[in-house]
Amino acid sequence: MFKQFQSARIVILPAILFIFNNTTVKAQDKAATLHQLNTLLINTVMVDFFTPPVASRIYSYPNIAFYECIRQDDPALPSLAGKLNGLKNIPQLPANKKTDPFIAACISFTYVAQNLVGSEYKIADWRTAFTDSLLANSDSITARNSIQYGHRVADSIIAWTKKDNYLRSRGMSRFVLSERPGSWQPTPLEYAQALEPHWNTIRPFTLKTVSQFSPKEKLPFSASKSSSFYKTMMDLYDLTQKLDTVKKATAKYWDDNPNVAINIGHLSYFIHKISPGGHWIMIAQQACRKKKESVTRSSLAYALTSIAIFDAFISCWDEKYKTNLIRPITIINRMVDKHWEPYIQTPPFPEFTSGHAVVSNAAATVLTEMFGTDFEFTDETEIPFGNESRHFKSFYKAAYESTMSRVYGGIHYPETARISIGQGKMLDYMF
């Protein structure tokens, strides 16, 4: 699919003058508006503490809605209808009415987003301020037409979201723990029940089947000291015994756990951070900002990145619950060292494969396609979470670091990290 967008890369959009609240707004400010919308969405997802797979769903649909509107500014950009599973019949731009695709795009983004988040008011408030300023403007007829059209696109996207099996999956049974040796067990501190065990029933955007990119290499559990499982477990144990400050900082930097539980007796609370998917959406944003991409190109970057992340979660989660592998904390406590603890908190789902690794490598693949193999960037996503900014030589370097951070953090085996990178990059084939 990606190949079809190659042409878009060379199209340089004319700077469209946009009248906004009696001020002349350049195309660059439209891109800024899209960045602002995505930041708002990510912050809302964080406040509502959606889990990483569910968050990936929330990032994607609004960005697809935005793209479907804004692409109509550029004939070179195709519709995603017919290209993403189940997506068809996006309402066409009304031929006889003056309509602004950018306004429609913003409006459709907000309606779709509002339909997916918990704190709807945060999105609705943004839209109210946006429309108020539009309607105060002299050309309020175009504004009205655009709002109407954006709403219609949103409705068609929302109708599409309703059929992705998400709602049905809410009512599915909880995960039943297996007694088989080496199977996943709930982990401290919360011992939370297995998260999204039925995520592989969600309709992917581009995958033909959820296990299309299931890695051929596996990591079967074995207590035998000569097994590759035992070896990689011991490698992890040895590595975490001498964790230096650099590795610790890396583990913290890419922790991206939306819901770290802290328990000090009854004093329990959660530290909410951006999810792995959200982190990569922010990396896409920073790449767009650095390259001063137009709103159209930025929208393409957001849509493709979020689509890749969404499918990566489905692919990874399918693998997780099929292999149902025990986490390092459980098995190391039982077999090696009863006092061992990982440096970061273990999230509540099976170990194989690594969600962060698959997602990061899938996102990096898309971004590399768009921005090039040696695109350097500075990632400031983690500053609000108490970390320094980090400079990366390329998207794949960042993805590799995030993959290894799970090993340093003590929540994934080195072998799993290696295999997961392959799984994430395989997802490239869908474009």
Beta carbons of 371 and 2 less than 8 angstroms apart: no
CB of 119 to other proteins, least distance (A): 9
Nearer to other proteins, 2 or 385 (CB): 385
Residue 180 binding other proteins, by CB under 8 A: no
Q: How far is the CB of 106 from other proteins (least distance, A)?
A: 26
Alpha-carbon distance 163 to 168, whole Å? 9
The distance from CA 44 to its chain's CA centroid, rounded to whole angstroms, is 14
Candidates 170, 174, 216, 225; binder of other proteins (CB under 8 A) is 174
Site string for other proteins, 43-62 (x = CB under 8 A): ----x-x-------------
- In the complex, the smallest distance separating the C-beta of residue 278 from other proteins, rounded to whole angstroms, is 15
Nearer to other proteins, 173 or 241 (CB): 173
Single out the residue of 78, 291, 335, 414 in contact with other proteins (rule: CB under 8 A): 335
In angstroms, the Cα distances linking 310 to 40, 56, 376, 396 are: 19, 5, 25, 18
Report the run of H or E that residue 377 belongs to, with start and end: strand 377-379
From residue 346 to residue 385, the character string flagging contacts with other proteins as x (rule: CB under 8 A) and all else as - is -------------------------------------xxx
CB-side exposure of 421: number of CA atoms within 13 Å? 18
Q: How many Cα neighbours within 13 Å face the side chain of 167?
A: 8
Contacts of residue 134, Cβ cutoff 8 Å, sequence gap at least 6: 20, 21, 103, 140, 143, 147
Binding track, positions 246-275, relative to other proteins; x by CB under 8 A:
-----------------xxxxxxxxxx---
Q: Residue 425: which of 377, 353, 364, 371 has the closest Cα?
A: 364
With b meaning 16 or more CB within 10 Å and e meaning fewer, what string describes 103-142?
bbbbbbbbbbbbbbbeeeebbeebbeebbeebeeeeeeeb
CB of 395 to other proteins, least distance (A): 25
Instruction: Classify 260 as helix, strand or coil.
Output: strand
Judged by CB under 8 A, how many residues of this single chain contact other proteins? 33
- Residue nearer to other proteins on the CB measure, 34 or 194: 194
Stretch of 21-29, 86-94, 333-341, 395-403 contacting other proteins, by CB under 8 A = 333-341
Q: Does 121 bind other proteins (CB under 8 A)?
A: no
Build a one-symbol-per-residue string for 379-398: x at contacts with other proteins by CB under 8 A, - elsewhere: ----xxxx------------
- Closer to other proteins by Cβ: residue 79 or 333: 333
Q: For residue 391, count other CB atoms closer than 10 A to its CB.
A: 10
Closest CA to 349 of 372, 375, 323, 371: 323
Cβ closest to other proteins, residue 190 vs residue 369: 190
CA dist., res. 32 & res. 27, Å (int): 9
Please say which residue, 269 or 429, places its beta carbon nearer to other proteins. Answer: 269
Q: Which is nearer to other proteins, 79 or 227 (CB)?
A: 227
Per this entry, what is the length of the chain?
A: 431
Task: Name which of 141 and 177 has its Cβ closer to other proteins.
Answer: 177
Decide if residue 333 touches other proteins (CB under 8 A).
yes
Task: Examine residue 190 and tell whether it contacts other proteins (CB under 8 A).
Answer: yes
Measured CA to CA, the distance from residue 137 to residue 25 in angstroms comes to: 13
SS3 assignment, position 204: coil
Contact by Cβ (8 Å): 367, 283: yes
Stretch of residues binding other proteins (CB under 8 A), selected from 61-69, 81-89, 181-189, 288-296: 181-189
Verify binding: residue 193, other proteins, rule CB under 8 A.
Answer: yes
Looking at 254-349, list the stretches that DSSP marks H as alpha helix, in order from N- to C-terminal side: 276-290, 295-323, 328-335
Is 182 an interacting residue with respect to other proteins (CB under 8 A)?
A: no
Please pick, from the candidates 91, 188, 414, 422, the single residue that binds other proteins as defined by CB under 8 A. Answer: 188
With CB under 8 A as the contact rule, which of the stretches 32-40, 190-198, 234-242, 395-403 interacts with other proteins? 190-198
CA atoms within 13 A on the CB side of 174: 6
By the rule CB under 8 A, 148 interacts with other proteins:
no
Q: What is the DSSP letter of 390?
A: E
What are the structure tokens assigned to 362, written together?
A: 């899938």
Q: Which residues bind other proteins (CB under 8 A)?
A: 47, 49, 174, 177, 185-186, 188-194, 263-272, 330, 333-335, 338-339, 383-386
